[in-house]
Amino acid sequence: MGTRIQLRADDGFTFSAWESLPTGKPRGAVVVIQEIFGVNAHIREVTDGFAAAGYAAIAPQIFDRVQPDVELGYRAEDMGTGIKIAFQQLDRARALGDVQTAINHISAHGKVGVVGYCFGGLLTWLSACTLKGVAAASAYYGGGIVNETGRKANCPVIMHFGELDAHIPLADVEKIKAAIPAATIYVYAADHGFNCDHRGSYDAAAAKLALDRTLTFFSQHIG
């Protein structure tokens, strides 16, 4: 369903993205922001899933600025590599600029929603607060959101967390709820990464419920 395309950022940098278009006229558009594992098979499948739901969907390869075509698995060494790229090597402002490029590109198909997972969940919150043209945002287990609660979103936001997530303790989720009362926050009886069916932490029931909520939310605010 999807295909790899090239996008050009405002500074002239060219990077890849996975774009997936629905059959028929799109009901709107969705930008999918990757985990620390790159735009790998799982993120491509997620992007294709939003296209199957009727949206023009795109997942920008925001790690291309550090290393082209990063695709990691879920072993300990992969996690170490992903954390190093995301939190030590990647210029976050540039990464958000590349998300903006993807938003601008996919907005040809209608209003744009942003959805992201793990590191992408954090960038989804930052996109809702700082980028242009975001109509709705759904952030999954965004590590570090608790440190960015002084910001104000420019669009409706929902967030999804797992109560078994050692990376984001429930105490942090409560802080986020208190600091961002306008956001709708859901907590699931699941672990970090519960949406990823390539990982041991996958929880089918939580993943389905979170996706149903995200699609309902997008249908309300995008089309």
Our answer to whether residue 196 is catalytic in this structure is no
Our answer to whether residue 118 is catalytic in this structure is yes
Our answer to whether residue 78 is catalytic in this structure is no
CA dist 120 and 38 (Å) reads 10
Please identify which of the residues 165, 172, 191, 203 carries the catalytic annotation.
165
Gyration radius of the chain over CA positions? 16
Please identify which of the residues 64, 192, 196, 203 carries the catalytic annotation.
192
Please identify which of the residues 118, 129, 155, 196 carries the catalytic annotation.
118
* Residues involved in catalysis: 118, 165, 192
